[in-house]
A and B are shown apart, each in its own frame.
Chain A
Amino acid sequence: MSGQPLDPRTAPTFPAAARAMLGDTQLRKNVRHATGVIQTKRARVVEEMPDWQELRESGRQIREHTMRHLDHYLQQFEQNCTRAGGVVHWARDAEEARRIVVGLVQAEGAREVIKIKSMTTEEIQLNKALEAAGVHPYETDLAELIIQLGQDQPSHIVVPALHKNRQQIREIFQREMHLGTLGESPQDLADAARRFLREKFLRVKTGVSGANFLIAETGGVCIVESEGNGRMCLTLPETLITVAGIDKVVPTFKDLEVLLQLLPRSATGERMNPYNSIWTGVDADGDGPRRFHIVLMDNARTEILADEEGRQTLHCIRCGACQNACPVYRQTGGHAYGSVYAGPIGAILTPQLQVLNHAQTLPYASSLCGACYEVCPVKINIPEVLIHLRNKVVRKKGPLTPEALAMRAMGLVFRSERRFRAAQRMGRVAEAPLVRKDGQGQGWIGWLPGLLGGWTQVRDLQAMPQQSFREWWEQREKSEVSRGN
């Protein structure tokens, strides 16, 4: 993976990207191992909760209610945040958000910023914009640091460097931090990162963050993390700039009671995040940053909200449980999705955030097995949204593609008993040249043409039997009649 940001507008199709990933045995081993570990931890802390299903339902209701009254809660947040000394900016899209952040950083005269892990800033490719303006962003989350130093791209929304193992991380650190020797134990690697980052924490005066939740009732912002590096970025700089999607708002402080139980257990298999930071505007006594800006960004979220069937996508609280549970993601890892949002949530979010483009293959990057829906802490019915988006793709492509024509023909067949029977008979005739008998006299097809050839890459196909069920049934009925039954 090069340093080129993941961009669904230019990314290859999912099947093509997945093919490349499937060939990377090291990546697959890393992804399988990491998702397995997180899944096991999650299962343990979910099983111990007697009211997990009720919690999920509460989470769903909170998110649904918030989305229904999003305009109200956003204004309430703006009011309360402003009252507490924060400056609220509104951004229609990624472009505007980048311009606002770069402008604020430049107004500070800053040449460097320290960053907290934020998928929203990845979504808008903020680092690239900062660099273009001559500002160096330092990622301080351990995984994001690995990604940045390795000129890589995040492959998971919670564990962005999940596709790398310890040996690979050691190589990156050793090379990029100019270290003579470095062990590969977690302690060695954490120690190297600590030394590298501490100096940045103490020196850099501007911090940039995302947000897990915006609390409308208080104007507060909440970030949860595991390392404490986020806490450093939230407390040491003089200026803090937060970029948040407008979907991150929750009505009341009390709603965190539900969401902060669901999120850590689903995301990392922890009962509680080690660091839960909540701040409201700026502190009058001078503790923490003197200036706080927050950019509330739409970037297609209101369009998603307007789509009755797609809007539940916005309920997502970015736990990544669907990625760990997804049998497709576990084979390919995140980069195949060509977006910072990978896995099942990426397959529904990315095509709605962007004009379909290459992202139109994403709704098909699922066997609809439903493992994502089963683990989603706010019960987003991802398979249902995938099907909805597939319908959008089909309508966009029009009725004249080979697939659409075949589907139309099949549709006509299923609408008539007579045509269905004829199709069964025709199928037997059509497949005959491809059928080979095996030792038991059973017919098998080992090669199929065109699109269907995907099947016979690694699978045989059982030939059609000489008699369909309905033909057998009619024969039986006739013989029973003739026997006088």
Chain B
Amino acid sequence: MFITCYNDTLFPETGKAVVRVLERLGHTVEFPAGQTCCGQMHWNTGYQAEALPLVARFVAQFRHAEAVVVPSSSCVAMIRDHYPKMAAELGDAGLQAEVEALVPRVFEFSEFLTRRLGLEDVGAYYPHRVTYHASCHGLRNLELGDGPLRLLRAVRGIDLVVLEGMEQCCGFGGTFAVKNAEVSSAMLAEKTTAVLNTRAEACTACDNSCLMHIQGALHRQRTGVQTVHLAEILASEDTGSAGAAR
């Protein structure tokens, strides 16, 4: 598993949930300790030179993995869309070959379940009203389509409601949220309005980055509505006592 830097630091529960789901399905999870960050923030903000060394680090950590599962579609998009080009730019033929061999084995978490394992029902139980936000990178770069929704529909007890403008950006965009805080806020307002209109208890997505953004406003407005990563929903089981949304 590649947890990603911000999930490692801010959202350990998501990582634990990924481990729980994969182990429940009979897979062995490894966590290479030398992993840090995919370089997305630097790359997307214009600091290409800072991002380049992280390609070799990623390859060194994961070259032996059968599959690399990542609970963040924007980080997978970074790896899939940019690493081959970055390796070429570095002029290291060996690294380039390794990147080419490794990238097809890197999967976003929901993508791993639906496309690599061909699963929809992973035995989850989550008795809450939930709505799903399609994050931009998952939707447009990874083309996840309705994969995450199919996983959610198979969850027992869930009351899944459609989010109006589901495919619309929440306004996070990494450093965009601070560089253009006001425009970002206006975009976020549309998203939280849509979330509140669903009367859901929780909003889920494949990316904690979007969820951190959405949750930031939902909490500031004291709405009582929560956000929860898709992995945490899929990890919930019927243990007799109903699990609570994060």
Interface, chain A (partner B; CB < 8 A): 14-15, 18-19, 22, 327-328, 331-332, 363-371, 373-374, 387, 389-395, 404, 407-408, 410-411, 413-417, 420, 424, 427, 438, 444, 446, 451-452, 454-455, 457-462, 464-465, 467-474
Contacts and interface: CB of A to CB of B under 8 A. Distances in A.
Nearest to B37: A414
Contact of B186 (A331, A468, A472): A331
Nearest to A416: B36
Contact of A415 (B41, B54, B176): B54
Contact of A370 (B13, B43, B141): B141
B13 to A, nearest CB: 8
B136 A367 contact: yes
B5 A394 contact: no
Contact of A469 (B3, B177, B181, B217): B3
B215 interface: yes
Contact of A394 (B34, B46, B54, B184): B46
Nearest to A367: B173
A424 B37 CA distance: 13
Interface residues of B, number: 65
Given A366-B173, A367-B173, A457 B136 contact: no
A446 B168 contact: no
Contacts of B213: 459
Contacts of A427: 9
Interface in B137-166: 137, 140-141
A391 B48 contact: yes
A22 B36 contact: no
Interface string B27-66: 0000101111101011111111111011001000000000
Contacts of A368: 44, 136, 173-174, 176
Given A366-B176, A387-B43, A462-B10, 19 more contacts: A18-B183, A19-B182, A327-B169, A328-B180, A367-B174, A368-B44, A371-B169, A374-B140, A389-B46, A391-B46, A391-B47, A411-B51, A417-B33, A417-B34, A454-B177, A457-B181, A457-B185, A464-B9, A465-B11
Classify the secondary structure of B's interface with A.
Answer: helix
B187 interface: yes
A471 B3 CA distance: 13
Contact of B140 (A370, A424, A473): A370
A368 B9 CA distance: 24
Contacts of A371: 136, 140, 169
B140 A14 contact: no
Contacts of A464: 9-10
B114 interface: no
Nearest to B167: A371
A328 B215 contact: no
B22 interface: no
B205 interface: no
A393 B46 contact: yes
Given A455-B181, A457-B182, A459-B213, A364 B219 contact: no
Contacts of B51: 411
B116 interface: no
B140 A369 contact: yes
Contacts of B53: 411, 415
Interface string B170-198: 01111111111111111111100000000
Nearest to B215: A462
A25 to B, nearest CB: 11
Contact of B169 (A332, A369, A389): A369
10 contacts: A363-B46, A368-B174, A410-B42, A414-B57, A415-B36, A415-B57, A454-B181, A458-B188, A459-B220, A469-B16
B171 A390 contact: no
Contacts of A424: 8-9
Contacts of A407: 42, 45, 47, 50
A38 to B, nearest CB: 16
A454 B173 CA distance: 13
The 3 closest A-B pairs by CB, nearest first: A367-B173, A454-B181, A459-B216
Contacts of B13: 465
A367 B172 contact: yes
B10 A465 contact: yes
A356 to B, nearest CB: 12
Contacts of B185: 457-459
Nearest to B227: A462
A412 to B, nearest CB: 9
Interface-centre pick from B53, B174, B183, B188 (highest chain A CB count, 10 A) = B183
Nearest to A465: B12
Nearest to B29: A473
A353 B99 CA distance: 36
Contact of B36 (A18, A420, A454, A465): A420
